[in-house]
C-alpha cells in the first residue's frame, strides 16, 4: 500500500505503490487529500498516488502531465525523470497523465502574483514558495504561461531519484550487497561484478521496501541528459503520420459532427430549418446545442454540406457592429477614470509631467492600437466523445484536462466521476486549447447521440470567425525626456478582460470575481526593469466585447508592443541609441545581459547597406528577460525581413536545441501577427474566415532567426512564449528606422507593403 516517503523542502511527499507486475513512483504535495488518478485503472487491493514513473515487467513509462502542443514538453519532462533515474530516453515510453488535481501546475499561479520577476524580496520569495498550495486546491492541471519546466524542474527529478534509490535498495536486499556498492546505469542496477539487474525485473519488489531517503539531486555538472539537446520523443511519429491528434481518433461506429456557431460571437440560435440538410446523403442528424447547430454524418464533408443547407435565425449581436465601435468602447474605459489596476506608481508622475515646461524637458505622447487576433492552430478545434451506460468518454487535445472534465460533467449533467478524458497530442495550442468550448460542445453532441461515438470538428471558417480572440487593445503614453533620458513615463492600457471571458465561458479552474484585477491586462507593462524616476502604469478594463482569451504570451503580446515602441520614441526624442539608452535604464543584471547579447549577436551599431535598417525591443516576460533585433530591407516588392536575433534568459537551459526551436517559433508567431494578422468586424460579423484573409507568415516571408540562451536569471523559466512579445515592437521600430514612419497600429501591413 501507499506509504509516505520523504518530506522535502518544497513540500513534496514522495511515495510508491504496487501496480500489477510493478511499481509506481510518484509525488504527493502539501497535505491535500489529492485524488489518485490511476486508481480507476487498478485492480482491487491496489492503490496509486500521483504517478510520474511507472515500472513494470513490460517497461518503464514516464507520465508527463502537461499537454504536448509542439513545445517539446514531453521530452523535457521525461528528461528530468530520466536524468535521476538513470534510464535512456530511447528506452522509455511517455504518457499524458489523466486529469487529476495531483498534477497541479504551481508555475501558473506564480505568474499571477503581483511581484515583478526581478523582485527577490523576502515577501516575493515567500509568495513563490507558497504558490503550490492554492494551485492544488484550484486543481490547475494547466499547460500554459510558459510554466511547465519550472513547475516540474524539482519534483520530476526528485521522483526519478527516489525511484532509483528504491530500486537499488531492492537489489541490495536481493543480492545481500550493501547499497553503497551498487550503481545504476541505463535502466539497470549494476553490481560490482558488472552484473546488470534491469529495473523491470526489480520493479515488482520495489513497492514492498521502505522508500529510500530523498538523496540530493545531482548537480548540473554531472548531468548526462539535461542541458544537452535531446531527440524529441515524438519526432518519428510526427514524421511518419502516426502521431494521433484528437481529430484522428477513430472508434467503431463513429460518426462525424461539424459545428456552426453563431456568426455573432456570444450569440445563440433562435431557430433553424434543417429539412433540406437532413435529405442530403450521409446526414444522420442536425442538432440544436443551444449556442450552435451541429450536423452529424458519415463523413465530416457530408456534415459540412449539411450545415450549408440549413437556414439559421441567430440572436443579434450585443456588441458594437464594427471595428471602430469596438475601439471606441475600449477607449471609453480610459475615460471612466476607474483603473482596473495601477501596479506601478513610482515617485510623482503628475508633478513631473506638469513641471516639464519649467524644467526644460521635452514632452511626447502617443496612442497605439492592436487588433483582435485569432490563434489559427494548424489543427482546427476538435474533440471526440462517447456517452453510453451513464459514462462519458472524451478524447481531446486540451491544455486543461481537469477543468475540461468539470465542464464536460456540467454540460452532460452527470457527475465528474462518470467522465474520463484522454488527452491526445495537440495540433497547436497557443492558448486556444485552454478554452473549453470544443469539449463542452462535443459533450452536448455525445449526450444527444447516446451510444454513438462522435468526432466533432470545427471548420477552419468557424474556428477563425467565431473566436475567442486575443483582445483588441489601446495603449497610451506620455513621457518627458531630459538630458538624454526619460524622467517621467505615464503609460496606460485598456482592453476587455481575458479572465472575465474565460470565467464566463467556464474555462477557469475556480470562479474569478469581477472585483479581482485582471493581471493579464497589465501583463509585462508594469514590471519592466527600467529605472525611470517617475513611472506609472495603469490598466483599464473595458466592457466585454468579442470573446477574448489567452493567446501566445497573453497580455504581453500587446503591452510589449506599446511599451517598447514607446521606448523607441523616447530614444528618438532623447537623441539616443535605443540599445544604449535601455542599457542606461535597466536595473536588472540578467535583463541587461540579454540586451548586450543580442546587440553583440547582430553587430548592432555597425553601418548597414543602403536600404536596410534595424529595430530593437526588450521585455521581461514570464520571468524570462528577452531581447530582440529585427532587420528589414526595402525592396521593390515591399519590405523584406532579412534577419531576426533573439536572446533570452531561462535560468537553466534544459534542452538547447528545443529552446532554439521554441524561441524561433515564438518570434515568428509574433512577426506573423505584426505583419498581417487582424480580426475585424462589419455588420456584427468577423470579416476573416480562413487563411486567404487571415494570412499567417509563409516560408518565403520568414526571416532566419538566430537565438542565444543565457542562464544568469535566478529561476528556471520556459521559452514557449517569451519569443513572441518583442517581435512586433522590434519590427515596428525597424520600419521606423528604415522609413521614418512611426506606425502605431497593427498589423503593420495595413500601413506599408511587405514582401
Partner 1 sequence: MDITVNGTLHSLDLPDDTPLLWALRDGLGITGVKYGCGIAQCGACTVHIDGQAVRSCQVALGDTWGDVTTIEGLSAPDALHPVQQAWIAHQVAQCGYCQSGQIMQAVDLLSLNPTPTDEDIDQVMSGNLCRCATYPRIRAAIHTAASMMREA
**Residues near partner 1 (CB under 8 A):** 69-72, 231-232, 234-245, 247-248, 250, 256, 281-282, 298-302, 304, 376-380, 425-430, 457, 459-460, 657-658, 661, 664-665, 667-669, 672, 690-692, 696-700, 702, 704-705
In terms of CB distance, is 71 or 146 closer to partner 1?
A: 71
The span from the CA of 244 to the CA of 139, in Å, is 26
In terms of CB distance, is 9 or 692 closer to partner 1?
A: 692
CB of 294 to partner 1, least distance (A): 16
Q: Which residue has the cell 494547466?
A: 142
Name the strand (E) or helix (H) holding 52: strand 51-56
In terms of CB distance, is 103 or 256 closer to partner 1?
A: 256
The span from the CA of 494 to the CA of 221, in Å, is 47
The span from the CA of 604 to the CA of 663, in Å, is 20
CB of 543 to partner 1, least distance (A): 31
In terms of CB distance, is 459 or 733 closer to partner 1?
A: 459
In terms of CB distance, is 212 or 709 closer to partner 1?
A: 709
**Residue 10, exposed/middle/buried by CB under 10 A (0-12, 13-18, 19+)?**
middle
Question: CA angle 308-468-511, nearest 5°?
Answer: 130
Helix (H, G, I), strand (E, B) or coil at 221: helix
In terms of CB distance, is 549 or 578 closer to partner 1?
A: 549
In terms of CB distance, is 348 or 687 closer to partner 1?
A: 687
In terms of CB distance, is 167 or 455 closer to partner 1?
A: 455
CB of 300 to partner 1, least distance (A): 5
CB of 648 to partner 1, least distance (A): 16
User: DSSP letter at 234?
Assistant: T
Alpha helices in 586-682 (DSSP H): 589-601, 656-676
Helix (H, G, I), strand (E, B) or coil at 555: coil
CB of 394 to partner 1, least distance (A): 18
What's the full length of the chain, in residues? Answer: 755
In terms of CB distance, is 73 or 579 closer to partner 1?
A: 73
Question: CA angle 718-400-115, nearest 5°?
Answer: 45
CB of 223 to partner 1, least distance (A): 20
In terms of CB distance, is 553 or 658 closer to partner 1?
A: 658
CB of 243 to partner 1, least distance (A): 5
Helix (H, G, I), strand (E, B) or coil at 446: helix
In terms of CB distance, is 244 or 752 closer to partner 1?
A: 244
The span from the CA of 260 to the CA of 273, in Å, is 13
Strands 51-56 and 183-185 come out as unpaired
The span from the CA of 571 to the CA of 390, in Å, is 65
> What are the cell numbers at 507?
474555462
Nearest CA-CA partner of 27 in 9, 39, 10, 15: 15
Write out the DSSP string of 76-100: HHHHHHHHHHT--GGGEEEEPPPS-
In terms of CB distance, is 640 or 742 closer to partner 1?
A: 640
CB of 364 to partner 1, least distance (A): 35
CB of 714 to partner 1, least distance (A): 28
**Residue 1, exposed/middle/buried by CB under 10 A (0-12, 13-18, 19+)?**
exposed
What is the gyration radius of the CA atoms in the chain, in angstroms? 27
Helix (H, G, I), strand (E, B) or coil at 608: coil
The span from the CA of 590 to the CA of 623, in Å, is 11
Q: Which residues of 595-613 are buried (b: 16+ CB within 10 A; e: fewer)?
A: bbbbbebbebeeeeeeebb
CB of 435 to partner 1, least distance (A): 16
CB of 308 to partner 1, least distance (A): 12
- Is the Cβ–Cβ distance between 467 and 263 less than 8 Å? no
Q: Which residues of 166-204 are buried (b: 16+ CB within 10 A; e: fewer)?
A: bbbbbbbeeeebeeeebebeebbbbbeeeeebbbbbbbb
CB of 384 to partner 1, least distance (A): 12
Amino acid at each position: 500500500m501507499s506509504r509516505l516517503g520523504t518530506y522535502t523542502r518544497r513540500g513534496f511527499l514522495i511515495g510508491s505503490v504496487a501496480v500489477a507486475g510493478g511499481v509506481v513512483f510518484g509525488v504527493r504535495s502539501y497535505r491535500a487529500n489529492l485524488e489518485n488518478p490511476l486508481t480507476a485503472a487498478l485492480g482491487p487491493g491496489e492503490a496509486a498516488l500521483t504517478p510520474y514513473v511507472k515500472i513494470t515487467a513490460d517497461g518503464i513509462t514516464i507520465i508527463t502531465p502537461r499537454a504536448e502542443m509542439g513545445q517539446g514538453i514531453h521530452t523535457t519532462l521525461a528528461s528530468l525523470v530520466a536524468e535521476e533515474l538513470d534510464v535512456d530516453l530511447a528506452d522509455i515510453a511517455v504518457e499524458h497523465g489523466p486529469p487529476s488535481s495531483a498534477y497541479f501546475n504551481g508555475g501558473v499561479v506564480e505568474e499571477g502574483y503581483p511581484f515583478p520577476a526581478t523582485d527577490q524580496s523576502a515577501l516575493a520569495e515567500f509568495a513563490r514558495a507558497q504558490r503550490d498550495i492554492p494551485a492544488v486546491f484550484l486543481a490547475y492541471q494547466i499547460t500554459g504561461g510558459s510554466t511547465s519546466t519550472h513547475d516540474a524542474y524539482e519534483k520530476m527529478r526528485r521522483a526519478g531519484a527516489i525511484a532509483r534509490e528504491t530500486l537499488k535498495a531492492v537489489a541490495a536486499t536481493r543480492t545481500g550487497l550493501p547499497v553503497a556498492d551498487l550503481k545504476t546505469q541505463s535502466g539497470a542496477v549494476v553490481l560490482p561484478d558488472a552484473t546488470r539487474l534491469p529495473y523491470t525485473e526489480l520493479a515488482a519488489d520495489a513497492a514492498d521496501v521502505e522508500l529510500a531517503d530523498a538523496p540530493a539531486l545531482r548537480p548540473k555538472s554531472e548531468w548526462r541528459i539535461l542541458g544537452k539537446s535531446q531527440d524529441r520523443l515524438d519526432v518519428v511519429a510526427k514524421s511518419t503520420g502516426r502521431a494521433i491528434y484528437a481529430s484522428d481518433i477513430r472508434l467503431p461506429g463513429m460518426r462525424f459532427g461539424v459545428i456552426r456557431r453563431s456568426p455573432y460571437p456570444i450569440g445563440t440560435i433562435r431557430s433553424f430549418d434543417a429539412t433540406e440538410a437532413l435529405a442530403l446523403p450521409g446526414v444522420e442528424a442536425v442538432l440544436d446545442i443551444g449556442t450552435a447547430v451541429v450536423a452529424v454524418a458519415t463523413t465530416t464533408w457530408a456534415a459540412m454540406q449539411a450545415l450549408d443547407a440549413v437556414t439559421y435565425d441567430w440572436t443579434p449581436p450585443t456588441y458594437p457592429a464594427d471595428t471602430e465601435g469596438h475601439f471606441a468602447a475600449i477607449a471609453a474605459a480610459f475615460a471612466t477614470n476607474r483603473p482596473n489596476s495601477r501596479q506601478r506608481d513610482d515617485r510623482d508622475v503628475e508633478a513631473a509631467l506638469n513641471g516639464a515646461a519649467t524644467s526644460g524637458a521635452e514632452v511626447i505622447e502617443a496612442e497605439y492600437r492592436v487588433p483582435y487576433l485569432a490563434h489559427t492552430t494548424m489543427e482546427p478545434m476538435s474533440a471526440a466523445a462517447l456517452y453510453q451506460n451513464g459514462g462519458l468518454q472524451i478524447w481531446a487535445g486540451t491544455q486543461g484536462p481537469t477543468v475540461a472534465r468539470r465542464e464536460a460533467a456540467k454540460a452532460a449533467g452527470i457527475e465528474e466521476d462518470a467522465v474520463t478524458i484522454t488527452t491526445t497530442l495537440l495540433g497547436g495550442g497557443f492558448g486556444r486549447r485552454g478554452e473549453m468550448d470544443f469539449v463542452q460542445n462535443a459533450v452536448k453532441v455525445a449526450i444527444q447521440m447516446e451510444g454513438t461515438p462522435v468526432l466533432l470538428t470545427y471548420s477552419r471558417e468557424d474556428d477563425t470567425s467565431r473566436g475567442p480572440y486575443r483582445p483588441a487593445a489601446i495603449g497610451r503614453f506620455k513621457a518627458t525626456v531630459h538630458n538624454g533620458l526619460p524622467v517621467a513615463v505615464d503609460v496606460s492600457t485598456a482592453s476587455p478582460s481575458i479572465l472575465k471571458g474565460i470565467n464566463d465561458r467556464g474555462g477557469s479552474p475556480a470562479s474569478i470575481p469581477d472585483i479581482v484585477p485582471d493581471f493579464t491586462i497589465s501583463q509585462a507593462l508594469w514590471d519592466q526593469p527600467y529605472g525611470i524616476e517617475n513611472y506609472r502604469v495603469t490598466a483599464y478594463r473595458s466592457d466585454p466585447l468579442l470573446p477574448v482569451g489567452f493567446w501566445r504570451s497573453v497580455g504581453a503580446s500587446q503591452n510589449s508592443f506599446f511599451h517598447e515602441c514607446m521606448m523607441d520614441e523616447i530614444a528618438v526624442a532623447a537623441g539616443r541609441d535605443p540599445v544604449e539608452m535601455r542599457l542606461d535604464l535597466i536595473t536588472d543584471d540578467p535583463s541587461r545581459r540579454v540586451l548586450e547579447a543580442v546587440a553583440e549577436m547582430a553587430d548592432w551599431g555597425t553601418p548597414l547597406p543602403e536600404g536596410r535598417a534595424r529595430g530593437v525591443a526588450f521585455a521581461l516576460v514570464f520571468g524570462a528577460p528577452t531581447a530582440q533585433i529585427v532587420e528589414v530591407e526595402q525592396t521593390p516588392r515591399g519590405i523584406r525581413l532579412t534577419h531576426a536575433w533573439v536572446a533570452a534568459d531561462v535560468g537553466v537551459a534544459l534542452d538547447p536545441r528545443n529552446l532554439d526551436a521554441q524561441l524561433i517559433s515564438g518570434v515568428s508567431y509574433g512577426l506573423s501577427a505584426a505583419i498581417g494578422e487582424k480580426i475585424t468586424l462589419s455588420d456584427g460579423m468577423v470579416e476573416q474566415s480562413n487563411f486567404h484573409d487571415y494570412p499567417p507568415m509563409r516560408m518565403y516571408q520568414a526571416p532566419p532567426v538566430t537565438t542565444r540562451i543565457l542562464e544568469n536569471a535566478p529561476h528556471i523559466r520556459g521559452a514557449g512564449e517569451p519569443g513572441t512579445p518583442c517581435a512586433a515592437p522590434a519590427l515596428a521600430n525597424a520600419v521606423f528606422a528604415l522609413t521614418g514612419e512611426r506606425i502605431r497600429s497593427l498589423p503593420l501591413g495595413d500601413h506599408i507593403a511587405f514582401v
